[in-house]
Chain A
Amino acid sequence: MKSKKLNFYIIIGIIILLISMFLALNIGVYDFGNSSAFQVLWKFISGDSALSLSEKYIIRDVRASRIVLSVLVGSMLAVSGTSLQGMFKNPLATGDLIGLTSGATLLAAIAIVLGHTFQEFLPEWIRISLVSISAFIGALLAMILVYRISTSGGQTNVVMMLLAGVAITAIGFAVTGLLIYISKDDQLRDLTFWNLGSLAGATWTKNGILFLVLLISYFILLPKGKALNAMMLGEKDAQHIGIDVEKLKKQIIILTALMVGSCVAFSGTIGFVGLIIPYILRQIFRSDYHFILPLSAISGSILLLIADTISRTIVAPSELPIGILTGLMGAPVFIAILLKFKNNLR
């Protein structure tokens, strides 16, 4: 019975996602003249030779790849937020607030600075993979640090968790800033990219790697909704029901670090997605991770896709950094959660 309802929502979600993707394809500064983006896309798919090189390039390598990137990143950020919240049993646990994105940014920046010397000798996919592997390690180290500091005996001290995040973010910001200051390297990007994120650098290679990460992580994590529900009862009780708590925690730790790391490596720090999506879904489904976890995968994509589309049309031909939009959406959510906490403390 419950599964039927879940499938229903999943199908609706996917339909909305596909509609959004098609609409986003039609939006952009480039004017296709008399044909709409769909006609161009159709020409591309059917191999029509009348398709100009520029149009093909825009449709395939600029718009479509960017839309796919925003879908993948949005989805993974939302799922990582939801899983972390299940593990820490707290609605504020998200990749950016507990320092994962800073840790990932730091190691990714180091990898880019070091990798620049070898840049010419390595094919693109290896170079990019090295950056995402370093980002993964950075996120993993941050994750382990936060977990050690804030959790003991299965209980998470929320304040310690957030403060550990603040500390890691501070270190990350300082060292990344130093690297950018020292390195006159143009290859080490703008601080804006790292701090506010950008989906403009989308390529199909990056999309391919992200898709691989997504497949691996979702295969393991998405079915764990019921297990996370059990974890909410407390780790001892969950253990007694039969959930292998330690294994689950390890999986969440490693896979969220992997997802967050790869997203940061390719699109910089895009905050609040992991905060907004679980919050909204919880309003609808209460804290039922069996529903929230898979649906966050779809809703995250829709959210980031819409945000990205707005970011590249609202100040055209310029672009608003996407971190600003997610921040504008996320800050009220953050405050709402804090107010709820405050009410509970009375």
Chain B
Amino acid sequence: MKSIKILLISAVLLSGISCKKEADQKINENPVAENPASNQRIITLNGGITEIVVALGYEKEIAGTDVTSTFPGSLKSTAKDLGHVRSMTIEPVMALNPTLILASNKDINPDLLEKIKSSGIKTELFQQEFSVAGTKKLIEEIAKSLGNNDYQKLFDKIDGDIKQIQPIAKKPKVLFIYARGNMLMVAGKNTPMTNMIEIAGGENAANDFEDFKPLTPEAVVSANPDVLLFFTTGLEGSGGTDGVLKMPGISQTNAGKNKKIISMDGGLLSSFGPRVGEAALSLNQLLLESSK
């Protein structure tokens, strides 16, 4: 009985001690914060939104981002990575003392959204359309929320890149595969990746369903893609081209037989931010290569 009491009391004291550890940790983490040009502290909870905010010139004012905001790399040292919006909670967000929160309404945890809305911090929620026009609209909306009208040069860059896209004589059927560990998902209609494929001059090999579905050998063989597209991290994680050829059904497809397996950086391919033109151009060049 006595030992149980001691156990309970020490458990309580332990939580008190961990509180102190928290305070110590905070002192060590702060040196990277700089004084921003203005007093704005922005939190961007989406890869594309982050890129747009940086492209508009506000990189120094970004205090925190989500885990998908991988570009530009310099953000790693100035902004705090808050994790994935699906599992984020409100306290770490508010601990950064934000003046503005910019988020996309896709995927965000409803509890988090509710707490953000009731926290009183200025929040703008954006609906992201995965197309060139949609990206331009998003740039305009974000610029407006930042009180800035200087976004024409972003449009010019996008248009400039898109103009350079060469049509491909025989439209290749491209299949995007999301590979993460043992989980293999295939992109159907209306996903950012398949939209990008179409802009770059290809067509989606798996167009009879929407969103993402797990990869099945029968579906892959009947889709018979000419080219397989992966995220760079996904391709590496699957063991490169050799690993992909071992995946069920792949070796029966045109892509597998001709070893036409390409990859692009995940953020570049799917964030539909200011680099959307650059992404489409890169993909176009990769597809042209593959059709030789």
User: Do these two chains really belong together in a complex?
Assistant: yes
Task: Tell which of B16, B106, B107, B108 has the most Cβ of chain A within 10 Å.
Answer: B16
For the complex, what is the distance from the CA of A16 to the CA of B211, rounded to whole Å?
A: 51
For the complex, what is the distance from the CA of A137 to the CA of B175, rounded to whole Å?
A: 45
- Does B12 contact A16, Cβ atoms closer than 8 Å? yes
| Complex interface: chain A residues within 8 A of B110 (CB) | 186-187, 189
- Does B89 contact A319, Cβ atoms closer than 8 Å? yes
Among B5, B8, B15, B111, which residue has its beta carbon within 8 angstroms of that of A23? Answer: B15
Q: What total of chain B residues lie within 8 Å of the partner, measured CB to CB?
A: 41
- Does A27 contact B18, Cβ atoms closer than 8 Å? yes
| Complex interface: chain A residues within 8 A of B83 (CB) | 317-318
| Complex interface: chain A residues within 8 A of B108 (CB) | 186
- Does B86 contact A62, Cβ atoms closer than 8 Å? no
In the complex, A312 has a CB within 8 A of chain B = yes
- Does A312 contact B89, Cβ atoms closer than 8 Å? yes
- Does A201 contact B12, Cβ atoms closer than 8 Å? no
- Does A319 contact B19, Cβ atoms closer than 8 Å? no
- Does A283 contact B109, Cβ atoms closer than 8 Å? no
Chain B, range 44-99, C-beta contacts under 8 Å to A? 80, 82-83, 86-87, 89-92, 94-95, 97
Tell me, rounded to whole Å, the shortest Cβ–Cβ distance linking B89 to chain A: 5
In the complex, B120 has a CB within 8 A of chain A = yes
* Known pairs A30-B91, A309-B15, A310-B15; A16 contacts B80 (CB<8 A): no
| Complex interface: chain A residues within 8 A of B80 (CB) | 317
- Does A61 contact B109, Cβ atoms closer than 8 Å? no
- Does A284 contact B94, Cβ atoms closer than 8 Å? no
| Complex interface: chain B residues within 8 A of A239 (CB) | none
In the complex, B182 has a CB within 8 A of chain A = no
- Does A20 contact B15, Cβ atoms closer than 8 Å? yes
Task: Tell which of B18, B19, B97 has the most Cβ of chain A within 10 Å.
Answer: B19
* Known pairs A190-B87, A200-B111; A317 contacts B95 (CB<8 A): yes
Assign chain A's interface to a size class. 35 or more
Interface string of B23-34 (1 = CB under 8 A from A): 001100000000
In the complex, B115 has a CB within 8 A of chain A = yes
In the complex, B119 has a CB within 8 A of chain A = yes
Interface string of B261-274 (1 = CB under 8 A from A): 00000000000000
In the complex, A156 has a CB within 8 A of chain B = no
Tell me, rounded to whole Å, the shortest Cβ–Cβ distance linking B13 to chain A: 9
| Complex interface: chain B residues within 8 A of A16 (CB) | 8-9, 12
- Does B12 contact A23, Cβ atoms closer than 8 Å? yes
For the complex, what is the distance from the CA of A93 to the CA of B230, rounded to whole Å?
A: 49
Q: In this complex, what residue of A is CB-closest to B211?
A: A184
Interface string of A149-191 (1 = CB under 8 A from B): 0000000000000000000000000000000000010110110
In the complex, B11 has a CB within 8 A of chain A = yes
Tell me, rounded to whole Å, the shortest Cβ–Cβ distance linking B11 to chain A: 6
Among A27, A192, A302, A318, which residue has its beta carbon within 8 angstroms of that of B8? Answer: A302
In the complex, A57 has a CB within 8 A of chain B = yes
| Complex interface: chain B residues within 8 A of A189 (CB) | 109-110
| Complex interface: chain B residues within 8 A of A53 (CB) | 120
| Complex interface: chain B residues within 8 A of A187 (CB) | 110
* Known pairs A186-B107, A190-B109, A316-B22; A283 contacts B4 (CB<8 A): yes
For the complex, what is the distance from the CA of A62 to the CA of B109, rounded to whole Å?
A: 16
Among A12, A26, A29, A310, which residue has its beta carbon within 8 angstroms of that of B91? Answer: A29
Chain B, range 180-195, C-beta contacts under 8 Å to A? none
For the complex, what is the distance from the CA of A52 to the CA of B92, rounded to whole Å?
A: 17
Q: In this complex, what residue of B is CB-closest to A27?
A: B19
In the complex, A28 has a CB within 8 A of chain B = yes
| Complex interface: chain B residues within 8 A of A12 (CB) | 5
For the complex, what is the distance from the CA of A316 to the CA of B89, rounded to whole Å?
A: 10
In the complex, B121 has a CB within 8 A of chain A = yes
For the complex, what is the distance from the CA of A309 to the CA of B11, rounded to whole Å?
A: 11
In the complex, A280 has a CB within 8 A of chain B = yes
* Known pairs A16-B9, A318-B87; A58 contacts B94 (CB<8 A): yes
For the complex, what is the distance from the CA of A12 to the CA of B89, rounded to whole Å?
A: 33
| Complex interface: chain A residues within 8 A of B211 (CB) | 184
Tell me, rounded to whole Å, the shortest Cβ–Cβ distance linking B256 to chain A: 28
In the complex, A24 has a CB within 8 A of chain B = yes
Interface string of A183-226 (1 = CB under 8 A from B): 01011011010000010110100000000000000000000000
Task: Tell which of A310, A312, A318 has the most Cβ of chain B within 10 Å.
Answer: A318
Tell me, rounded to whole Å, the shortest Cβ–Cβ distance linking A19 to chain B: 6
In the complex, A244 has a CB within 8 A of chain B = no
For the complex, what is the distance from the CA of A280 to the CA of B107, rounded to whole Å?
A: 41
| Complex interface: chain B residues within 8 A of A63 (CB) | 91
Tell me, rounded to whole Å, the shortest Cβ–Cβ distance linking B179 to chain A: 20
Q: In this complex, what residue of A is CB-closest to B25?
A: A316
Task: Return the 6 tightest CB-CB contacts between A and B, nearest first.
Answer: A317-B92, A201-B111, A30-B95, A27-B19, A29-B92, A200-B89
Known: A19-B12, A30-B95, A309-B15. 7 other contacts (CB 8 A): A23-B16, A61-B115, A63-B91, A200-B89, A313-B18, A314-B18, A316-B92
